[in-house]
Amino acid sequence: MRIKARDWPTALARGKVLAYALFSDEPFLLAEAETQVRKRWQQEGFLRLQRLPQDNPWPILREERDALSLFPEPRILLLRLSDLRLGKDPLAALEFWLARPPQDTRLLLTGTRPDAAIQKLKWFQTLDQSETLGLLILYPPEASDWPRWVEERLRRAQVDASREAIALLAERSLGNVSAADQAIRRWAELYPGQRLEAVDLPDLLGDNSQFSVFDLSDAVLQGNPHAVLHSLGRLRDAEAEPVLILWTLHRDLILLLQLQEGNTAEILRRERLFPPRSERLQRAARRLPRQRLRQALFQCQEIDARIKGQDARPLWPALADLALQFCQNSKVPAQ
């Protein structure tokens, strides 16, 4: 049976399932679901874990299904598939198991997100339709759902947080489920019962490059070229992904253009922007000429081509040039 992500906790606690297939392109979500399944089966008495070899698990899978024993030891077979496009013999072995799973063994199958062709195969359809088999496909939250996802994670960890802290954590962890979860767990462990405020986040998030890119965002919005170049240097030393830096700067450009032409209060509400970031954006929107922002968007396209290997020119100098576009028409803070 196919399980929706929102129904996963209830479904996991409810039924006796002989095999679970978990699929996701997000390693953190996949590992989390795998741990949850193993804990659930351990509660049912399946304490032994047997990892099947990835190179050729299929003969073992066939043998285990029909193994006869007077005193069988309940166990979990863990099968991680690096490729869901299976050959003839692997397909036959998997279909053989799923057609009649043994009662004293549980199969936990994990892999990347299946495409439409994979989902039409017999073994996948068996997982989808059988009441004693479980199928879960996990997707990372969309950007529009990210604040709600962060809020739900805080609730699960029993962390009370201000709306400003929720918004800032969501903003600075956008697209990184592992980093967001780690930050929440760290707070829950270090300060149990203490309310999380926005001012606590810099120390909580530390110097992780996934978060340091937002230090760059703060620097460009304030028009501080020294801080911009310092942040870029730290990111480069930390081997941060250039695409993440480009995405951050491009998003700020879009927000600034929207603020220059739209209803400021509505945009801040829709984008869930709070002080001090909302104030920095508004000041930058007043300071920077619209034509320069539009020109910077063209620079984003050129940098994207370099990231994709379509342009052989150096990448990091181009990122620096783009970031420094935000710093014109601003007073340079004293050193």
Question: DSSP letters of 253-267?
Answer: HHHHHHHHHS-HHHH
Structure tokens at 218: 């703060």
Q: Do the Cβ atoms of 194 and 154 come closer than 8 Å? A: no
Summarised one tens digit per residue, pLDDT across range 190-236 is 899 999 998 888 777 755 545 567 778 888 999 999 989 988 988 88
Residues 6 or more apart whose CB falls under 8 angstroms from that of 107 comprise 18, 19, 20, 61, 76, 77, 79, 97, 101
Mean pLDDT of 119-140: 91
Q: Do the Cβ atoms of 12 and 37 come closer than 8 Å? A: yes
3-class secondary structure, 308: coil
d(CA 110, CA 23): 6
Element (H, E) at 246: helix 242-261
Residues 6 or more apart whose CB falls under 8 angstroms from that of 60 comprise 52, 53
Q: For residue 277, is pLDDT > 90?
A: no
Summarised one tens digit per residue, pLDDT across range 283-330 is 999 999 999 999 999 999 999 889 888 888 899 999 999 999 999 765
Residue ranges of domains in the chain, CATH in brackets = 2-138 (3.40.50.300), 149-206 (1.10.8), 211-335 (1.20.272.10)
Q: Do the Cβ atoms of 79 and 113 come closer than 8 Å? A: no
Q: For residue 4, is pLDDT > 80?
A: yes
Range of weakest confidence among 48-52, 75-79, 144-148, 253-257: 144-148
pLDDT at 311: 85
Mean pLDDT of 56-83: 80
d(CA 191, CA 183): 12
Flag whether the pTM goes above 0.75.
Answer: no
What secondary structure letter does DSSP report for 223? T
CB atoms < 10 A from the CB of 52, how many?
Answer: 18
The residues that bridge with 108 in the sheet, in sequence order, are 20, 78
pLDDT at 71: 56
Name residue, tokens 């399932």. 17
pLDDT at 271: 76
